[in-house]
Amino acid sequence: MSESNNGLGLSEFFQQITKANQQFVEQFVKAVPQQSPDVATNPYANIFSGFWQNASQLSQLQNQLYQQQMQAWQGVIGQTTGEPTKDKRFAAPEWEQFPFFSYVKQSYLSTTKWMMDLVEKSQVDDAQKEKMRFFTKQFLDAMSPSNFALTNPEVLKLAADTKGESLVEGMKNMLEDVQKGYITMTDESKFEVGKNMAVTPGQVIFENELIQLIQYTPTTDQVFDRPLLIVPPCINKYYLMDMQPENSLIRYIVSQGFTTFLVSWKSANEEMKHLTWEDYLNLGVFKAIEVVKAITGKADMNAMGFCIGGTLLTTALAVLRAKGDTSINSATYLTSMIDHSEPGPIKVYLDENMVRLKEMSMTEGGVVKGKELAAVFSSLRANDLIWNYVVNNYLKGKTPPPFDLLYWNSDGTNLPMPMHTYYLRNMYIENNLTKPGKMELCGVKIDVRKIDIPVYLFAAQEDHIVPWKTAYLSTQYLTGPQRFVLGASGHIAGTINPVTTNKRNYWVNDQLPASSDLWLQGAQSNPGSWWPDYSNWLGALSGEKVAAPKTPGNRTYKAIEPAPGRYVKARAE
């Protein structure tokens, strides 16, 4: 199509469409009745009820969209070229080489921007806008032309080059994943827990219906006499901390001379469907403390909690403080929250109605599937953790490369519904951990401000699960000596930053102002892994060096099986 003196030019054509559409919108606005209160509770309805009050703003947004679409169409017919994009979904040269696909890409990106602008300019409160922003992006990401065979030039070219074999392999991959119930993110045949993952030597020296307790084999002639008890997340398998020898935090801690014990949580089954948060304390944390004291003969120990393991540890410490129990000498929190007022993107899934429905359905208990929990966390980064694999595995028929972290990510655990719902209600919905006396556990009312032992808090700068500024708020509730350390990268890569690679950096600041921004302004950046900093801090709180024990356990708690044990090897159904 070209400009012509005898007819409308392309620019005039789109301008007339835009003008006609503006008139249509204005007429429609006048005819729309006032929104009812019931409709107004729907945030998406509220977008439009707000815009109906300001038709010119909606018309302006529509005009912008038409202009962008016109530019994309002009690119197809050769009048202009599409602007390059840094979006990795469209990074392949095929998206620019073929005019049709260039148009599809530009049209999609324009529409995406238009819809997100519509959300940003909607007349709703911040909480509603945040949910709308998230779920609109979820929809737009799902509808990307890169996710469909017929609108993805890379997929079509590969299908032609392989004479359709790539599509056949993709169908096989999809059918296998349907059987498994989750998207394959790595070549799972390359990994096996206990063979090339979770291989730090040790023995299971205690087990009950909820936990196995592992005592790790010393690798030094002498060890600190005060032991360390690690409470990992119960939502995921603990071996995130013991992936492979070169990136194992557990192996590193043991190599520094610390007498190390670790709780391995059992994935919940139907027999465990009634277990509560209090059960996770009594059968888990408190039982582990009892066994560690019996084996080592020490009256106290240091403790570490990772993510939700840190939340469990916090409630355990608060109970111990309320009872006058001094079994824990110091606490370490890795990417964990006390104050849940700003939990990051996950809060779009959490509201009063959702939790109330769960509470109403759990009179007979129940199990929250690990696959469901994993899907929720993957959706927070859908392009990277969902659609990337849909395209690679199903449309291109490829097998993803082996990656230990993604193998772990697919190996989730189930949780008992009473325990899970208590967690959502008291931490995320009501933020009760920050309210003295609001929570009662194990027969006592708890107050985290009574936790006055030395504490090491680690957070990760780009963490989207436990935002570092929210993790920093813990410093305002705990009352003992504290060290706050901020690592680079995200929830996992920031924490698992081994000294063997010594990548990235971390920040330290001995001052703890109320503002996290002020803390960062005064912080010093240090190159490499934060692990040696932690080892130095923990060493000063771990007592004297003594000869390493020659055998695990004692007469009462004997070795049951080698680490990593049966519980962590079992795949959740």
Kindly list the catalytic residues: 307
Q: Are strands 260-265 and 228-231 parallel, antiparallel or unpaired?
A: parallel
Q: How far is Cα 354 from Cα 352, in angstroms, rounded to an integer?
A: 6
Tokens representing 439 are 């929570």
Q: How far is Cα 168 from Cα 165, in angstroms, rounded to an integer?
A: 5
Would you give the DSSP letter of residue 84?
A: P
- Is 495 in a helix, a strand, or coil? coil
CA angle 343/347/349 to nearest 5° reads: 150
CA angle 158/164/169 to nearest 5° reads: 90
- Is 522 in a helix, a strand, or coil? coil
**Is residue 564 reached through a cis peptide bond, with omega within 30 degrees of 0 on the bond before it?**
yes
User: Could you tell me which of 457, 514, 503 has the C-alpha nearest to residue 480?
Assistant: 457
Beta strands in 299-366 (DSSP E): 301-306, 328-334
Query: How are strands ordered across the β-sheet holding 211-216?
Result: 524-527, 505-508, 482-487, 455-460, 328-334, 301-306, 228-231, 260-265, 211-216, 202-207, 561-562
SS (H, E, C) 394-440: HHCCCCCCCCHHHHHHCCECCEEHHHHHHHHHHHHHCCHHHCCCCCE
